[in-house]
Each structure stands twice: as structure tokens, then as C-alpha cells.
Structure 1
Amino acid sequence: MAWNVFKFCTALRGLGSVMIFIVLGVVGVTYYALVVVNYGPSLFHGDLDSLIALAVLLLFHSLLVMLLWSYFSVLSTDPGGVPLNWKPMVDEEKGDVDPLLGSEHTGVGLGVDQENMVANPASEAVRFCRKCNLFKPPRCHHCSVCGRCILKMDHHCVWVVNCVGAKNYKYFLLFLFYTFLETTLVTLSLLPHFIAFFSDREIPGTPGTIAATFLTFVLNLAFALSVLGFLIMHISLVAANTTTIEAFEKKRTSTWRYDIGRKKNFEQVFGKDKRFWLIPAYSEEDIRQMPELQGLEYPSRPNLDAL
């Protein structure tokens, strides 16, 4: 009997509280080293150091608020599940074809009427999840960790203890963005203190505060470099209107139907209201007028719709 590793994926759910505490722990150590140990006391020197410390602390706290807001938004927001009564709309005249079909469309376990719908040559885009016993909307995939189908699923992220999908992808990207800015700021701010470790001059502070500063610099440098790679990757995915999963699957087709231009691709994730682009929220008008933000409908290139 073949060993099915996916049945153990649900064990990752147990990492939930652990990963949250790890993230908050890194934030706490960073706050202690930067604010309490190094730049907080500099506020009372009354010289240029005070102005530098004030600028660093204001920027640090602003980025920290946005980072935590984005983190808990992606953590607490449902990525989007398939409504129980959702059924695909089939155009019998043009037979809409999804380029990411694979072997997912099947009539096994369906009712008679549903079997006919799936078997209909005009409904090649219809997909059905035998695990959830539900039809799968376009760009929807089953998550073995969550145990359900996720709308426009990108990936399951253990750091945010949640799937990243249609309704929280923007929040995830903002979390990466503010994490990169925050860790870069901390790295640059503590760089002189880190260099001082390898100099001959005496370093002020106790062994504990010195160790905290050294650890904070190393952690933030490592996070800044790793998050930068993820950020660049996801920027390219947004520009092409793909997800992490689709980036591999779309190699089967020469033309990607959902790529409708960089500006519109960006708006499908961040909305059209520029005031909300940098915060983990959408305007009511965007939610009302952009059905793609709900994860069930996506515009595609007209020339491919006619095929």
C-alpha cells in the first residue's frame, strides 16, 4: 500500500499557536533591543543623537503597527471557501475551457443531473472536488491542511497559520512588504552596534543587552533577505495575475487567460481605490463593484474567451 503523506498534513494545524508566539517573540526581542536598549535612552541626550533616535523610533513604530495589522488580518481573515449551493454557469454555445483542468473534472460521486453537467462537452471547465463533494470555481484548489477547497488558493502558510487565498492575499502581501521594511530598518539601525562588537573599544551595556542587540541584528538581517526573495516572487505573480500554484500549472498552456494587463491584474488583488492600497482593507465600493475580490468570478482575455 502506498504511503499517503497528505493525510498527515492536518498535523500542521497544531503549529498554529506556536508560530504566532514565535512571530510575537521575534517582535518582542526586536522591540527590546531597538527601543529599550539602544534608541530609547538616546532620546534624552539632547544632541543630534536625540533627533536620529526620534526619527528611527517614529518610523519603527509606524511600520510595526502596519506589520501587526497586516499579520493579524491575514491570520484572522477567511481566505475564501466555496459556498455550499454554488454551481458553475455553463455556456453551452462556446464551451468555456479552463486551462488548468488536469484530471480534476470527474463525475464520480455526483448525482445524475450533476454527472450530465460534468460530462457535457460544452462544460469542460467544470471541476468537482471529491473530497469536499462540491463543485470547484475557477482557480480554486483543495488545501490538504485546511481540509477544504480555497478560492484562488496561493499556498498554505504556517507563519500566518492560515491559507492564503482570494480574500486575504492582499493582506499577506502587505505583511511581507511591511516585514521587509521593518526588518531592513532594524538591520540598518543596529548595524553600527553590530560593527562595534568586532572593534577594540568598550561596548556599553550588560552582557544580556549586548547579546539581545547581536541576536536582533542577525534575526532581522536573515528575515529581511528571505522576505525580499518572497516579495519579489509575489510581485511577479501579481503582475502576471497568477498564484504560486498556477505559476507551475500554467506552463501547460502557451497563453494565460487571466493576464489582462498589469494595472488590472494589480487591481484584482489590491482594489481600485488607491487610498486602500497600503492598508489591509478594501473600500465598500470595491467590494461591491469587483466580484473578483470575492474569489468566484474572474475576467479573462477576450481573445481567449472566444476560443
Structure 2
Amino acid sequence: MQQVGHQPHPGEKNFRYATTSIAPFLYFEVSPVLPGLAAFLSFIMMISLLKTSFSDPGIIPRASDMEVAERSRLIFQEYVPNIVVLKYCFTCRFFRPPRSSHCSVCDNCVLNFDHHCPWVGNCIGQRNYRHFYFFIVFLALLIVCIFACSLAHLMICKLFLCVRSWFIWFWRERVSGCDYRSIVGLAGFHTYLVATNQTTNEEASSILIRGLS
């Protein structure tokens, strides 16, 4: 019986390549600023990730038996002058404030619900969206930084005589192994949402409505 060995994730291979080959070379041969910049981006990215994972996204406490009628009356009085339609959550037993939604994974209503992110293990909402945005933006910047440093490393070392050959090798081995484009695209998408004051949930709903109309 043939034993299948552990196959490292492409991202793991790229991380080892960047830390053991690229960073020391750039530090001693080019400038210590470049690996220092990558370390700074990594630090901010990790801090933002931890804050996103362990922060309260804006969970609305469920109403008790005594609070159901009173909370519904107060929310009704607050939003009726603006003619806002409120949806009732039968699980949490109250009328949800505008832009909030019930997460089927966490089983809680969340203020300004954006989406549930399985990669951080938490909902993304009003209270932790800023940390999530910083996380994906700095992750995208880190990817661009590593890509540029890797490219510079190959060009300076002249590992290949033919430019076309080493570029094809670099793209196949270091870029296509991890779908970096999706992360950069995700950062761009959330930048668009921030600029237009939308959430992922609202954008997805509007696309669905346009598709059905």
C-alpha cells in the first residue's frame, strides 16, 4: 500500500520561499526597508484578523418575555416617521433595525450585517467591519509586496537567461499556486462597498432583485 505523504499548501510553500530566500537577500543586497515593509504589513494584517475574529460584530440581544412588547413599541415609534419597513425576527423576537439581519450560522441578529466569514469564524457587522476591511486591504497589500519582492529577487539574481522562461516559471510556481487575485479582488470589492455605503448582504440582495425583475 502506497503511503501518501503530506502535500504542503501552495501558500505554505510561498511563505517559506519568501522568508528563507527573498527576505534575507533583499535585506542584505538591496535594502532592509523592503522586508521591513512586508513585516509591518504582516503585523497590521494579523492584528486586524484577531480583532475581526474576537470582536462583537454587533449582536442584538434577544428579547425576553417582558421586553418583547416594550422593545417593539419603542422601535416602532423611532422609525415610523421615516416610513421604514421593519422585519420581525421570530427567533430573536423583535423587529430588526434597518440594515440588520439574522445570521443562520451564528443564529443571532447582527447590526449592519455584512456576511458571515468562515475564514475568521465570525460574523462581519457594524462593530467589526472596520477591522475586517483593514485585514483584507493589508493582506492584499502584503500579497502585492511579496509579488514585487519575488519578481525583483528573480530579476536581480538572473536565475534564468530568458526573461520569458523565468516569468512563466514564476507565474506557474509562485502565483497560480495560490489564488491571490481573489484576495486583491475582494479588497477592491469591499472598497467599492465602503465608497457606496453598502454591505455585502445589501449588494447581493440588489443583484438578486435586478436578476428577477
For the criterion TM > 0.5, the same-fold answer is yes
More helix by proportion, 1 or 2?
Answer: 2
| 1:61-76 matched pairs, under 5 angstroms | 61-76=39-54
What is the CA–CA distance in structure 1 between the aligned matches of 2:187 and 2:25, rounded to whole Å?
A: 34
Deviation at 1:233, TM superposition (A): 1.7
In percent, how many aligned pairs have the same letter? Answer: 27
Structure 1 residue ranges (4+ consecutive) displaced by more than 3 angstroms after TM superposition: 28-31, 41-44, 91-96, 192-201, 214-220, 248-253
Show CA shifts across 1:117-146 (max 9, x none).
Answer: xxxxxxxx3321113333312211111111
Deviation at 1:77, TM superposition (A): 1.0
For residue 89 of structure 1, give the secondary structure of its aligned residue in structure 2.
helix
Q: What is the root-mean-square deviation of aligned Cα atoms in Å?
A: 3.3
Show CA shifts across 1:283-304 (max 9, x none).
Answer: xxxxxxxxxxxxxxxxxxxxxx
Equivalent residues, number: 185
Does the 8 A contact of 2:27 with 2:35 survive in 1?
no
Deviation at 1:42, TM superposition (A): 5.2
| Code of the aligned partner of 1:35 | T
TM-score (norm 1): 0.52
What is the CA–CA distance in structure 1 between the aligned matches of 2:200 and 2:111, rounded to whole Å?
A: 13
Uncovered stretches (5+) of structure 1, i.e. residues with no partner: 1-21, 99-124, 202-210, 254-307
Deviation at 1:78, TM superposition (A): 1.7
Q: Which residue of 2 aligns with 1:290?
A: none
| 1:1-307 matched pairs, under 5 angstroms | 26=11, 29-41=13-25, 43-44=27-28, 49=29, 51-52=30-31, 54-85=32-63, 87=71, 88-91=74-77, 95-98=81-84, 125-193=85-153, 199=161, 215-219=173-177, 222-223=179-180, 225-249=181-205
For residue 116 of structure 2, give the secondary structure of its aligned residue in structure 1.
strand
Q: Which residue of 2 aligns with 1:114?
A: none
What is the CA–CA distance in structure 2 between the aligned matches of 1:153 and 1:241, rounded to whole Å?
A: 13
| Code of the aligned partner of 2:41 | L
Deviation at 1:191, TM superposition (A): 1.6
| Code of the aligned partner of 1:69 | I
Q: Is the alpha carbon distance of 1:248 and 1:38 closer, same or farther for their aligned partners in structure 2, counting shifts above 3 Å?
A: closer
Does the 8 A contact of 1:190 with 1:217 survive in 2?
no
For residue 182 of structure 2, give the secondary structure of its aligned residue in structure 1.
helix
For residue 91 of structure 1, give the secondary structure of its aligned residue in structure 2.
helix
What is the CA–CA distance in structure 2 between the aligned matches of 1:245 and 1:132, rounded to whole Å?
A: 19
Show CA shifts across 1:30-77 (max 9, x none).
Answer: 443223223315544xxxx2x43x121110111010010111111111
Show CA shifts across 1:72-111 (max 9, x none).
Answer: 111111211112357243239954322xxxxxxxxxxxxx
Q: Which residue of 1 aligns with 2:6?
A: none
Q: Which residue of 2 aligns with 1:292?
A: none
For residue 20 of structure 2, give the secondary structure of its aligned residue in structure 1.
helix
Does the 8 A contact of 2:26 with 2:153 survive in 1?
no
Does the 8 A contact of 2:26 with 2:35 survive in 1?
no
Uncovered stretches (5+) of structure 2, i.e. residues with no partner: 1-8, 164-168
What is the CA–CA distance in structure 2 between the aligned matches of 1:92 and 1:176, rounded to whole Å?
A: 35
